[in-house]
């Protein structure tokens, strides 16, 4: 069993530390002194309770348990002394806690930070530098920038104030990059003017430079559309055609027009291969200033093309993108593995989702790619248009979604828009705080929503007044706007142009505690839907009052699911079916252990996606489907007809030690900790295991904290 020290370092549980601390407090009081056997009994019981949690336990949790046990013996004077002892130790530590956390992460000992982000390698200097800056930002945020009530609510797990490691700077969350404007009208990168490219391969190269610059000036995901690259295929075609004619002229030979066209298209295909490779490999190998590859999503939507020629050219780009992703990338051991980025989203449309339609071959290729590499994910044009005023457009990053917005000419605009930030409410905490009293539940819910509103306004105010000079690539040179130097971004923060998100987590556990049933049970579903509607009503009210674009967001809480679980256990104890796991359920999802078939799950969750318009994504867990592509295509067709946005989770792992390819398994080691193990050779060295799992929309490849690891281990198959 492990304990987590205050600086984040994990160490073996030591019962003697409890005995020593209680003994010192015991010796400082004259009344109600405990004998040695009683002190050992307290320590033994605390050890027993920690073991029952089946996870690493923080020092603060252990000390709370010790206090409870001293009180249980009736030794109130001793309890006072122990509390005083804790307080004095806290004062001594408060001289500077940030430096110890920074030093521990530099030395690779900080388990909290090491497992915070499954796409960051915490041993790399650039990642450590970002984490160091993040620790300073968190410290400044908690001490100076946020009021005590919000900081305490975050620490208690009542809410989660996302991305405090970036809050000190005037930075925002997610973007829909206006790549079309930047490529067609030019941009500026590092004070260098970049004109409209004269070929497809050059356009791809410039796109990757834009991606790197944008990612270094915000902290969330960003999305681009392949449709914005498609016009450059025709530019290359014309250019290649002229080159071939010149070569024919030099050679002085007679060549038919048909042969010339064949040569042109063959060379054009090679350029498309080269351009797509540029995007795939540069994105994977890029290291932004925050120490990771850009959280890039690539959108593949045929109907975004402006005419039939452009649509056919876009189809060629999509085809090559899927082929290259299916192949994967080669790791340092020479094994083809699944990369985390870029995330791919494929739009299902009338002319690609049904057999015998023109572009069905692309959907077949997408299905094949999904079975091996977990992507692409799927957006139903049909369902999105139903929910988004007849529009279909990319999400920002893994799921953050914009509301429809029209410019002064009455035209819908999506590219160049962004998300200001997220605060997530812990719905399980609302339920448990009510004790199951339904009237009290709604009263507490109101209070917590108002707390979230205040926290979100702090996010908004942190961006207000930001000068466009802070990030020229974003605000001056087309990624999000073309503001003047010295101009503030304030006008982009109002009127719904950008969004700000009320996240939520644990709807399943909340519903189960209040009704005694899973939210999939028809008797409990109405309550779960009422909770969702209640949050929407709150956001509509805030939007009306402030003219800020609030939205409901199914939070991708990667590490926070563990934080919330620990906080709930600390405050409410172990409640069977509610707090007895090291994680709580993301957003509205069906619990990972609940037996349900893929089609029922997607149909059920579609109700909640429709009430989570600030962003949401559903998934089904599937076995290895590489030999059963028809079944995958059946699921894809079901997605098209029934749900806006969904993905299939499969396994694509390998062991560098023995060459095993398949599913790396999760086992429990001698300390009770969940670890990853090759089923063939028993290798547990994470540096020699390649594991890819989708945990919150994105694919993670750098392993996860204990709460998320338990959640992954307990997932049941839906197909």
Active-site residue list: 173-174, 396, 398, 400, 419, 553, 558, 697
Interstrand relation of 618-621 and 549-554 (parallel, antiparallel or unpaired): unpaired
Tokens of 90: 């806290």
Q: Answer for the pair 508, 518: CB distance below 8 angstroms, yes or no.
A: yes
DSSP string for 489-526: SGGGGSTTSSEEEEEEE-HHHHHHHHHSS-TTSTTTHH
Residues with Cβ within 8 Å of residue 273, at least 6 apart in sequence: 320, 324
Tokens of 597: 């078939």
- CA torsion angle 56 517 714 700 (round to 10): -80
Per DSSP, 680 falls in state T
Determine the 3-state secondary structure of 219 from DSSP.
coil
Closest of 485, 518, 714, 582 to residue 50, by C-alpha:
582
Closest of 7, 93, 54, 30 to residue 582, by C-alpha:
54
Query: Can you give the three-state secondary structure of 47-114, one letter per residue?
Result: HHHHHHHCCCEEHHHHHHHHHHHHHHCCCHHHHHHHHHHHHHHHHHHCCCCHHHHHHHHHCCCEHHHH
- Please state, in angstroms and rounded to a whole number, the distance separating the CA atoms of residues 624 and 645: 21
Q: Answer for the pair 650, 374: CB distance below 8 angstroms, yes or no.
A: yes
Q: Answer for the pair 636, 363: CB distance below 8 angstroms, yes or no.
A: yes
C-alpha separations of 252 from 92, 245, 249 in Å? 88, 10, 5
- CA torsion angle 571 95 109 118 (round to 10): 60
Angle, helices 560-572/706-713, rounded to nearest 10 degrees = 100
Residue listed under structure tokens 């890039």: 296
C-alpha separations of 558 from 584, 679, 702 in Å? 11, 26, 12
- Please state, in angstroms and rounded to a whole number, the distance separating the CA atoms of residues 192 and 691: 40
- Please state, in angstroms and rounded to a whole number, the distance separating the CA atoms of residues 81 and 59: 18
C-alpha separations of 519 from 328, 578, 612, 696, 712 in Å? 38, 13, 16, 20, 21
- Please state, in angstroms and rounded to a whole number, the distance separating the CA atoms of residues 213 and 292: 13
Ordered alpha helix ranges (H), 300-421: 308-327, 350-353, 360-373, 381-387
Residues with Cβ within 8 Å of residue 588, at least 6 apart in sequence: 504, 507, 508, 519, 528, 532, 554, 605, 608, 609, 612, 616
Tokens of 245: 């004619």
- Please state, in angstroms and rounded to a whole number, the distance separating the CA atoms of residues 683 and 668: 13
- Please state, in angstroms and rounded to a whole number, the distance separating the CA atoms of residues 328 and 336: 6
Residues with Cβ within 8 Å of residue 678, at least 6 apart in sequence: 655, 657, 658, 660, 664, 665, 684, 689
- Please state, in angstroms and rounded to a whole number, the distance separating the CA atoms of residues 113 and 595: 33
The H or E element containing residue 662 is strand 661-662
């Amino acid at each position: 069993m492990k304990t987590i020290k205050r600086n984040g370092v994990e160490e073996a549980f030591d019962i003697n530390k409890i005995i020593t601390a209680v003994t010192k407090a015991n010796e400082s009081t004259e009344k109600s002194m405990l004998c040695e056997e009683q002190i050992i009994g307290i320590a033994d019981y605390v050890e027993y309770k920690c073991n029952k949690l089946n996870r690493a336990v923080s020092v603060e949790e252990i000390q709370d348990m010790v206090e409870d046990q001293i009180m249980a013996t009736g030794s109130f004077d001793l309890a006072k002394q122990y509390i005083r002892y804790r307080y004095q130790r806290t004062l001594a530590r408060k001289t500077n806690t940030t430096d110890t956390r920074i030093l521990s992460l530099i030395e690779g000992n900080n388990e909290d930070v090491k497992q915070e982000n499954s796409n960051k390698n915490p041993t790399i200097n650039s990642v450590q530098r970002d984490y160091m800056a993040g620790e300073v930002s968190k410290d400044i945020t908690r001490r100076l920038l946020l009021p005590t009530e919000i900081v305490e609510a975050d620490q208690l797990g009542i809410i989660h104030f996302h991305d405090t490691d970036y809050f000190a700077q005037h930075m925002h969350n997610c973007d829909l990059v206006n790549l079309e404007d930047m490529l067609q009208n030019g941009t500026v990168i590092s004070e260098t003017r970049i004109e409209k490219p004269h070929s497809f391969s050059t356009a791809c190269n410039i796109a990757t430079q834009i991606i790197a610059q944008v990612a270094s000036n915000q902290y969330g995901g960003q999305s681009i559309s392949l449709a914005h690259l498609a016009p450059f295929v025709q530019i290359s075609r014309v250019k290649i055609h002229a080159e071939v004619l010149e070569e024919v002229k030099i050679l002085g030979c007679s060549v038919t027009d048909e042969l010339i066209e064949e040569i042109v298209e063959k060379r054009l295909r090679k350029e498309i291969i080269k351009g797509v490779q540029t995007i795939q490999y540069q994105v994977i190998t890029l290291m932004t200033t925050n120490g990771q590859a850009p959280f890039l999503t690539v959108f593949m939507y045929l109907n975004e093309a402006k005419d039939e020629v452009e649509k056919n050219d876009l189809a060629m780009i999509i085809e090559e993108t899927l082929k290259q992703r299916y192949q994967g990338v080669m790791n340092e051991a020479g094994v083809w593995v699944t990369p985390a980025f870029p995330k791919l989203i494929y739009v299902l449309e009338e002319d690609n989702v049904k057999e015998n339609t023109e572009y069905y071959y692309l959907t077949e290729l997408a299905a094949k790619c999904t079975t091996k590499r977990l992507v692409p994910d799927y957006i139903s044009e049909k369902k999105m248009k139903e929910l988004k005023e007849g529009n279909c457009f990319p999400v920002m990053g893994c799921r953050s979604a914009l509301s429809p917005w029209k410019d002064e000419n009455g035209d819908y605009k999506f590219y160049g828009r962004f998300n200001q930030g997220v605060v997530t409410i812990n719905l399980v905490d609302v339920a448990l705080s009510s004790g199951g009293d339904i009237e009290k539940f709604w009263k507490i819910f109101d209070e917590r929503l108002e707390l979230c509103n205040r926290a979100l306004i702090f996010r908004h105010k942190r961006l207000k007044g930001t000068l466009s000079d802070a990030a020229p690539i974003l605000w001056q040179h087309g990624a999000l706007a073309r503001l003047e130097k010295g101009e503030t971004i304030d006008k982009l923060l109002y009127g719904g142009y950008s969004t700000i998100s009320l996240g939520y987590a644990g709807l399943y556990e909340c519903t189960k505690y209040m009704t005694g049933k899973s939210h999939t049970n028809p008797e409990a579903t109405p309550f779960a839907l009422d909770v969702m509607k209640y949050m929407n009503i709150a956001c509509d009210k805030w939007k009306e009052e402030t003219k800020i674009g609030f939205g409901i967001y199914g939070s991708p809480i990667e590490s926070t699911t563990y934080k919330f679980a620990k906080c709930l256990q600390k405050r409410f104890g172990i409640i069977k079916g509610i707090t007895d796991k090291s994680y709580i359920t993301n957003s509205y999802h069906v619990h990972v252990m609940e037996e349900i078939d893929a089609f029922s799950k997607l149909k059920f969750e579609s109700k909640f996606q429709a009430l989570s318009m600030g962003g949401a994504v559903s998934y089904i867990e599937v076995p290895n489907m590489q030999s059963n592509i028809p079944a995958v295509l059946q699921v894809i067709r079901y997605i098209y007809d029934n749900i806006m946005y969904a993905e299939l989770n499969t396994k694509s792992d390998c062991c560098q030690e023995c060459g095993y390819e398949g599913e790396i398994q999760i086992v429990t080691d001698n300390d009770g900790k969940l670890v990853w193990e090759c089923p063939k050779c028993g290798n547990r060295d994470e540096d020699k295991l390649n594991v890819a799992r989708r945990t919150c929309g994105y694919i993670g490849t750098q392993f996860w904290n204990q709460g998320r690891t338990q959640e992954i281990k307990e997932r049941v198959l839906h197909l």
